[in-house]
Amino acid sequence: AQKVTQAQTEISVVEKEDVTLDCVYETRDTTYYLFWYKQPPSGELVFLIRRNSFDEQNEISGRYSWNFQKSTSSFNFTITASQVVDSAVYFCALLVVAGAQKLVFGQGTRLTINP
């Protein structure tokens, strides 16, 4: 069975601080994808990144960066120089390729950036 754990339920930081959101996953499959989605207060889900299990290169996109480590089954997300607009709930998700491609989501981390 697949499982995603986001141990941090809520994080609150002051604007311009760096913040890391943790994600740990479980799967016995060797081919899978990991995702991060952002859910702002308006409620929609915004895709941020997809990473496949064979690509452990870290990725940076502006102030966002992702650290994928298969050895620890983690896919952590860092926001550098946080801004108030980053306030949202962030979900990590796992998709196993075999089968119907169902996304398994973590519980989410509510991030609040205070001015």
Residue from 25, 35, 66, 75 touching other proteins (CB under 8 A): that is: 35
The pattern of x and - marking residues 59 through 88 that bind other proteins according to CB under 8 A reads ------------------------------
The sign of the CA dihedral 39, 40, 42, 44 is negative
Q: Which two structure tokens, joined as six digits, stand for 85?
A: 């607009």
37 binds other proteins per the rule CB under 8 A: yes
Buried b (16+ CB within 10 A) or exposed e, 64-73: bbbbbeeeeb
107: which DSSP letter? Answer: -
Q: Please, which residue, 44 or 57, has the CB nearer to other proteins?
A: 44
d(CA 91, CA 39) in angstroms, rounded, equals 8
Check residue 107 for interaction with other proteins (CB under 8 A).
Answer: yes
Residues in the site for other proteins, rule: CB under 8 A? 4, 6, 31, 33, 35, 37, 42-45, 47, 50, 52, 91, 93, 95, 97-108
